Chains A and B, each alone.
Chain A
């Protein structure tokens, strides 16, 4: 999922016809700018310039009535873990008014875009429960009848001073959503002052897989997994991220480092999740989670496995997959053998269990026996749970051996 950071979201909304507050960015440890000149008199709002939503609920938004309060709030937020390093903050003009809510997003249950509107909004507002909603047929687009329904059901009907502005805003919302192939545009809240709606809080998400021509219609600065931008990743996660980015024409591979002791190098999303649970149920813990699709290519597979084998304090390895249907299992096996050699893991001292089944499994078994003879090899007669039990048992035995 691609998201937009707030300092890019606001100008983007403005370009689609929304009214937005003035703001200024404060980066790293730089001096506070002359906020009054840039965005006007206090009060001001200061918050992290990240793509993450729920900043108000997380206590990361401060309202400041003078420059000394602003300086204190900036210092406090720069030190907050969630802001990342170097810290990027946004100082925004405070807008008076009541609050309301609008969004458009793909809905998993309806399986179509759904527009939501409410006459309330702000921190803690539950849009799924409290907003009026209208599913939109993507072949027809947002119809006047949808807009009329939303206005009536939300209570922002005829007679409300901002009724006409809300009607226009809903059409801007749909136009921006469909043209940029967004998956979410959420404005929470709008501040309502007479006939004017000002978008003061915004969350934007875009489809990673959308056609390239839509990229020019997106905000200037978008991020994939924001934890990479905020420096919340290990060097091994960064290495997988980098190879995915440099070889973007083939399917990406996943690698998540976890604080456990057994590297779960199990491909197939469902099978890998099953193993996470089983290892935990057996009193151990996973050191990583991986996933890959057929077609990822040998370089990405190699880096993913190398990252898994490089997790510090590793005490066991489970390599394998669900019974593969659509790929040759020797590809993954060759990448594993290469990664084990490069990582320097000694399979005689760190227990390694492999469960390999699928097209060409005999050849995969032969390769493992020839190149990594200490690996405990299981076939399709054993389940992934058997493999989990074996590797946990071997790790526990090695504990007992060490203590004896």
Chain B
């Protein structure tokens, strides 16, 4: 009966759930299925009597970090803020008409970090109304993740579901290469550049993306899909660490200032730090002579057309060959996105 008395729940008028769910919410308060892991709804009700207002968070129509970084990142940051305060949240995706995989990965990464920080969260949501976007969400492994918190690498012929790990995994990259070889009928020895690049990204995450004692999990996510129409692979690699502008070591200050001056840049921003990192203007945080080859190596691949359409989004910086901007929104970690057509695998190293 005590629980019933606590049932003076105040709802936001714009809960955004349909009538059936409203009836379920009110009638079966004790048995509401919790679709996220964390504290049970009942315990939260006991612990946080004031926090019974479910927020409905509507995601942007164009939910692509690559195409719409400012709005999408701001939206995710707001979502995380609501969740961190312990409010139940309903994620409304039904009007999303452009869903991209890196956004799904970023969402999963935020949830994982909240769970690691033992933030109790209660997330429900709907799915995009369009069939293509629903299938992308389903094939990505998103539901598997929110269901049992496991991400399994598998291929359905066109995609690799999102794979997540906290270590450098040669076998994972080998599986990716085999998938591509089979899809494009290209030999194993053409995989060298891609293999190198993905391992370097994993290494950067594991070695540089996090400070000791940070209360987030050191992890990366990777996803690949094949665009049958364009005959190209799309890659997305995400780490949810400190971000390139934060982690690059600026002790080679004179070197960096010279680089900035040579570019004719008067005031530099975070995107300039990303670019400088690609060009090898910084030492790595380790400051060791034999280190710091990862980012320049990636830039080398870009210049030699071994990868196309490279986009790097990190903290406030958005870098691509054609667009370099400092955003108002701040992304946690670093996203790498690129595409590869068959000729990329044959470009000389």
**A and B associate:** no
Chain A residues packing against B (C-beta within 8 Å): none
Chain B residues packing against A (C-beta within 8 Å): none
